[in-house]
Amino acid sequence: MTEVSMTVNGKAVKADVPDNTLLVQYIREHLRLTGTHVGCDTSQCGACVVHVDGKAMKSCTMLAAAADGADVTTIEGIADNDLHPMQTAFKENHGLQCGFCTPGMIMTATDMVKRYQADGRELTEDAIRHELEGNICRCTGYHNIVKAIADGASKMTSA
Ligand code: FES
Ligand code: FES
């Protein structure tokens, strides 16, 4: 067993977990934050993306112990009272069908927008499509997802 302590969505959490506990298992099974999904377990689909110390990370590729001391944000933690601007953009642009991939898409998208804004780079449609290579949508709704991210980027800029 390993003791892990971290901050998740602004709250300090601590637990003893088996050494091989993945971060996604810790988030879903110990903290019961089930908005982070598991679509593959082989690091391909991106349904499990969370932010670790401000960076998008596939939480099925990381041990909980490796996140010891980290600041973790899940889909449940990105909004204040209202929806996050990126969530509003997905809603308004029909950027989801079944919604299974959506938490990972939104966590990837918000990280993408922040990185491009920090570097002063333009987030073009081509760039969005390239950045989404690690996120799979089984409903194949990519066109509206790309539109939603572009809209979310401008909403985040003006928020
Ligand atoms: S569950 Fe992590 S990438 Fe698919
Ligand atoms: S909306 Fe169904 S998997 Fe993407």
The full set of domain ranges for the chain reads 2-77, 85-158
Per-residue pLDDT tens digits for 76-134: 999 988 999 999 999 999 999 999 999 999 999 999 999 999 999 999 999 999 999 99
| Between residues 51 and 141, the one the model is more confident about | 51
DSSP states of 78-116 as a string?
S-SSS--HHHHHHHHTT--SS-SSHHHHHHHHHHHHHHH
Ligand nearest to the CA of 37: 1
Distance 133 CA to ligand 2 centre (A): 15
Task: Report the CATH number of the 85-158 domain.
Answer: 1.10.150.120
Question: Are the beta carbons of 121 and 141 closer than 8 angstroms?
Answer: no
The pLDDT-based confidence of 22 (bands split at 50, 70, 90) is very high
Please give the pLDDT value at position 159. 72
Distance 89 CA to ligand 1 centre (A): 23
Structure-block tokens of residue 144 = 């509206």
138 lines ligand 1 (CB under 6 A): no
Per-residue pLDDT tens digits for 49-83: 999 999 999 999 999 999 999 999 999 999 988 99
Ligand nearest to the CA of 137: 2
Please give the pLDDT value at position 41. 78
Best residue among 94, 101, 142, 144 to mutate for probing ligand 2's pocket (most ligand atoms within 8 Å of CB) is: 101
Structure-block tokens of residue 20 = 């091989």
Q: 2-77 sits in which CATH class?
A: alpha beta
Q: Is the pLDDT of residue 141 over 90?
A: no
